[in-house]
Amino acid sequence: MTRHHPGGARRDFLFIQSTTEIGGAESTLLNLFAASEELRRRSVIANLGFGSGNLPERLRAGGSLVVDLPRARLREPVKVAETLLALRRIIREQGVSVVVGNGAHPQVVGGLAARLAGVRSAFLVNMIHAYPLWKNHPLDALAIRGPCDLMLAISRASMATLTKLRPGVECHLFYWGTPIVEVPPEQARQARAELGVREDQTLLGSFGRLQHWKGQDVFVAAAAQVARDRPKSRFVVVGGSVFGLEPEFFELLKSDAARLGIADRITFTGFRSDVHRLMAACDIVCHTSRVPEPFGLVIVEAMAQGRPVVATEGGGPSEIVGSDDEGVLVPPDDPEKLAAAMMNLIDAPERRRRLGERGRAVVLSKFTIETMATTLIGHLDELMRR
């Protein structure tokens, strides 16, 4: 049955977003709606309001329709019921055909709301990366077992896991993308100067929210080895705690740096909004997750800046870095091999240049936000037609 918004054009898609703070999945939502006027025109976003970030404001500033709903934790059944009824009302008023959960908690709520309203639901699966299911976060496990008509996996590795966990639910590949932000050389030089790095020194960076599984302590341990043998090397760790996760990890990293004798060689910036500028300032960007990443957005962002990348192999990174001329892959949780890869690139500026050029070409061909938005709309339209 076709539904129409009583006040005008219908909104085909309802996106449900739990947190207002910005991590990888939230950055992807921002990028999707920034890239596609069609998606903005055809969608409404329900904000469940957890956290203290500014995601709803940024979405509205970009022209998206955002509806704020009361917070409803899954352990609060009365509030959840109220939220589900509010979502059903939005679905009917806006003429929504597909509800899209951006992550685990939104999918639990969105899947139930879709069933309540008699429409289809899709799950943007951002974090499932382990098999069997119990090895994942409990909320991820709950979401993947909830009502769902379509799963969109951000890597082939994640898709292989999902098809084992839910063989009866259709699953498609949905690579994340990044905006192509051009950083003028003078801004990159200014960022280096702000970090206290001279032109004749080599700057190696780690980017991302600070958590043990993200492995910034592996980067610090490898940096200590590199610092001993390459006196002109300098290091930066960009990122902070997000969603209230492991706030103590920041101080642990600084303590590690002091214990290893490199406190004067490494800078911890905390959260920064000028990530592209800082990436452009680096000579090498390192990704050091302890477990296979479902995707690895930081890798794509660095490659888009023409930076050579050293990344942990497995999962999404092994799909992004498809060959030795696109980047360097190292085993997880291995500071010695990471340090060796870092020093090899420090000693090979021409190889760094080639890796940067090839990496950027890969992003332009496969991992732009425009490609991501077109892919998503195609999957959702196909679900509507069925």
% the chain with pLDDT above 70: 93
Kindly indicate the confidence band of residue 25, based on its pLDDT and cuts at 50, 70 and 90.
confident
Say if residue 320's pLDDT is above 90: yes
Q: For Cα atoms 361, 364, 369, give the angle at the middle one, nearest 5 degrees.
A: 155
Average pLDDT in the 81-89 region?
A: 95
Kindly indicate the confidence band of residue 4, based on its pLDDT and cuts at 50, 70 and 90.
very low
Choose among 342, 315, 310, 312: nearest CA to 328: 310
In whole angstroms, give the CA distance from residue 352 to residue 344. Answer: 10
Q: Which domains occur in the chain, in start order?
A: 13-177+368-385 (3.40.50.2000), 185-366 (3.40.50.2000)
In whole angstroms, give the CA distance from residue 148 to residue 216. Answer: 35
Residue recorded with tokens 């970009």: 62
Give per-residue pLDDT as tens, 184-194: 999 999 999 99
Give per-residue pLDDT as tens, 143-178: 677 899 999 999 999 999 889 888 999 999 999 999
pLDDT of residue 145: 78
For residue 368, what is the DSSP state?
B
CA distances from 69 to 56, 110, 234, 307 (A): 12, 13, 46, 41
Average pLDDT in the 218-240 region?
A: 97
Residue recorded with tokens 């739990």: 18
Choose among 23, 89, 102: nearest CA to 376: 102
Give per-residue pLDDT as tens, 108-151: 899 999 999 999 999 998 766 555 555 666 666 666 778 999 99
pLDDT of residue 128: 60
Least confident of 19-28, 130-139, 374-383: 130-139
Say if residue 267's pLDDT is above 80: yes
Kindly indicate the confidence band of residue 5, based on its pLDDT and cuts at 50, 70 and 90.
very low
Say if residue 183's pLDDT is above 80: yes
**Which pTM value belongs to this model?**
0.89
Say if residue 7's pLDDT is above 50: no
Say if residue 333's pLDDT is above 80: yes
